Amino acid sequence: CTFIYGTPTMFIDMLAQLERGHYDLSSVRKGIMSGSPCPSELVKNARKRLNIQRFHVMYGATETSPAISGIDPDEPIEKWIETVGVPLDHTEVKIVDTRGDIVPVNKVGELCTRGYHVFMGYLGEEGKKREAIRDNWYHTGDEATMSGDGRITIRGRIKDMIIRGGENIYPREIEDYLYKHPGVLEVQVRIPNILGHMHLARYLERFEQNNIRI
């Protein structure tokens, strides 16, 4: 095997398997992680422990065939590790507020995209299509920022955000923080609705032979 492609969960399973035996990974050259949010600590561990010399992190959706942006593996990791890279060639991306106006650099808004990569619609669901595609722009439902050099950082899903003490809280940001613990293999933060109130709940899976307390 010279090329490994997978979702974050697939890479988590591969790393867990390394705990159970020895594997010759000398032939591995490249890898792509995509399909759901890619925690920075997971990316670092996958690159190092799976011997992936050129690692790509891609961002997109089924409706965008499926990529919108990606990182340049030739750049130093510290330049892109917290981002999903820059828009791909021949695609357009903008970050907008609730009125549809483009927000300033590094300000949070909804990520929208248009171009040849955007789908034509949902079969038999015109109402759903009109909600997703407005003025030829596909609305991803993801909150994001864009830096001055075009790098995109995903904050989380708009519908997943909750407010506590006047602060916007995104489950993904909590997950990224928990992944920094060396004993954490996988973590999910969800927002159950209990009696009409939104709460944060975390679910952890640890590496074998690791005891963690949080």
More confident residue, 98 or 182: 98
When pLDDT is cut at 50, 70 and 90, the band that residue 197 belongs to is: low
Please give the backbone phi and psi of residue 173, each rounded to the nearest 5 degrees, phi first: -65, -35
Between the alpha carbon of residue 184 and those of residues 67, 175, 180, 204, the distances in Å are 29, 10, 8, 7
Residue 87 has pLDDT above 60, yes or no: yes
Show me where the domains of the chain are located: 160-213
pTM above 0.75, yes or no: yes
| 101-122 average pLDDT score | 97
Residue 195 has pLDDT above 80, yes or no: no
Q: What is the pLDDT of residues 127-151, one digit of tens each?
A: 999 999 999 999 999 999 999 999 9
pLDDT of the residue at 75: 95
Q: What is the pLDDT of residues 18-45, one digit of tens each?
A: 988 889 999 999 999 999 889 998 999 9
With tokens 């791909």, the residue in question is 88
